[in-house]
Amino acid sequence: MPVERELEEVRPSLRGLDSSRLRELDQRAEAAREKKAAYGLDIDLRAFHEGKALGRTNSLETLPDEIKDVMLASGVDPSESGRAGSYVQVGKNVIYERVNRIYSGKLEIMDVGDALEKYPEVRDLWWTLVAPDQDKYTAFSQLHDVHGYFIRVFEGQEVELPVQSCLLLHENAEVQNVHNIVILEKDSSAHIISGCTTSPRVKTGLHIGISEFFVRAGAKLTFTMVHNWGPEFHVRPRSGALVEHGGTFISNYILLKPVKSVQTYPVAYLRGRGSRAVFNTLIYGLEDSYIDAGSKIVLEGEDSSGEAVSRAIVQDRSVVYTRGTLLARQNRSRAHLDCRGIVFGNKARMFAIPELESDGAPESLLSHEAAIGPISEEEVEYLMARGIPRDEAVSLITRGFLDVRIMGLPQALESAIQKMVEMTQRESM
């Protein structure tokens, strides 16, 4: 199905928006239809098509084994054991939504198109943290049919078990267009694990993912995204988070498999007093991957604070950029960047680009540290002196470098991701 179809035929998911609002968004997107992203590789969107429609399922256990396997490898459990709820989208189709019955009345999950139709407040939030004219990818998302998850945690509710979502491509050269809205109401808390992956037989594709997070006063959201694509895939997430008084937003990004290109630069706006944001990034650059990943924290609230930590291992012919920006607009604010990379081989390249900016906040405290280099020979020799073979010593050091404990994950999820790190490390050495 060509992506150039007439707009009124392809966007039933936006039926909740009134016509004047839709026209305004379309006009902005049309003006950016060919606008290149500020960073990363440029892509010809005409090389990809929209996939065929799929039917819904009543159980994730009925999915083909190959699909369940890649879901597991992305942190999503088809058995739904230890999960508060699940959302699964294959290509452009939402095939599954469910809230664990013990969280009924505390949590809701639905297709964002249904939420746009049902809730006026969702329509008011649509495209407020990410701009439809930011670049050609956001423009594409606005101008074509879009689905995605709407997740809301109600006021005062603590969702102890993770909510999981899976965004999966199942056709070759398919484009997946996703727009997610997450709202944590006042004094609520939740952990969302989002596994993004593809059917094993699919060789190439494009994922465009818009996500807007709203963390209300006193709420805490931990969002963990695991990317498990393929060597010929292009990935373009575009995310924004708004954090109110006393709220906390923690974003974890994990990329351990080869990918053609990724470009992501989420932004957290700390508007409320005592608001906080943390970005943790673990990247394993392999084969010919071109990865441009970063984050930005805008400190606008009194006593707001932020931290961005990235760890990258770069080898083969991969190229990795790690960017980090701290922007202070409030005197009583503080934030820190910590970027470190290990480079293996003469053909791998890594760039660490920290940026600190004080805008009318001369008393704010911003700091950074960055380091790129080879694996520590002193550490290798230390382990070898204790009888550990060199290859095993290097393996131990690299696994320790990508320490998932910095992410503050639930124990079961931390163990699963640590196994992913170990498997990737064994395959790559």
Question: How far apart, in whole angstroms, are the C-alpha atoms of residue 190 and residue 212?
Answer: 15
pLDDT of amino acid 408? 74
Q: Which of 155, 147, 208 lies closest to 184, judged by CA?
A: 155
pLDDT of amino acid 180? 98
pLDDT of amino acid 6? 40
Q: Angle 35-29-24 (CA atoms, 0-180°, nearest 5)?
A: 150
For residues 219 and 189, is the Cβ–Cβ distance under 8 A?
yes
Structure tokens at 383: 């382990």
Question: How far apart, in whole angstroms, are the C-alpha atoms of residue 179 and residue 88?
Answer: 13
Place of tokens 């694990």: 193
Extents of the domains making up the chain: 7-264, 376-429
DSSP 63: S
Supply the DSSP string of 321-374, one letter for each residue.
EEEEEEEE-SSSEEEEEEEEEEE-SSS-EEEEEEEEEESS-TT-EEEEEEEEE-
Residue type present at position 188:
S
User: Which strand (E) or helix (H) includes residue 379?
Assistant: helix 377-384
For residues 163 and 151, is the Cβ–Cβ distance under 8 A?
yes
Residue type present at position 134:
Q
pLDDT of amino acid 427? 65
Q: What is the pLDDT along the chain (429 residues), one digit of tens a residue?
A: 444 444 444 477 787 898 899 999 999 999 999 999 999 999 999 999 988 878 899 999 999 998 999 998 888 999 999 999 999 999 989 999 999 999 999 999 999 999 999 999 999 999 999 999 999 999 999 999 899 999 999 999 999 999 999 999 999 999 999 999 999 999 999 999 999 999 888 999 999 999 999 999 999 999 999 999 999 999 999 999 999 999 999 999 999 899 999 999 999 999 999 999 999 999 999 999 999 999 999 999 999 999 999 999 999 999 999 999 999 999 999 999 999 999 998 999 999 999 999 999 999 999 999 999 888 888 888 788 888 888 888 878 887 888 777 777 777 777 777 777 777 766 666
Place of tokens 């940026």: 355
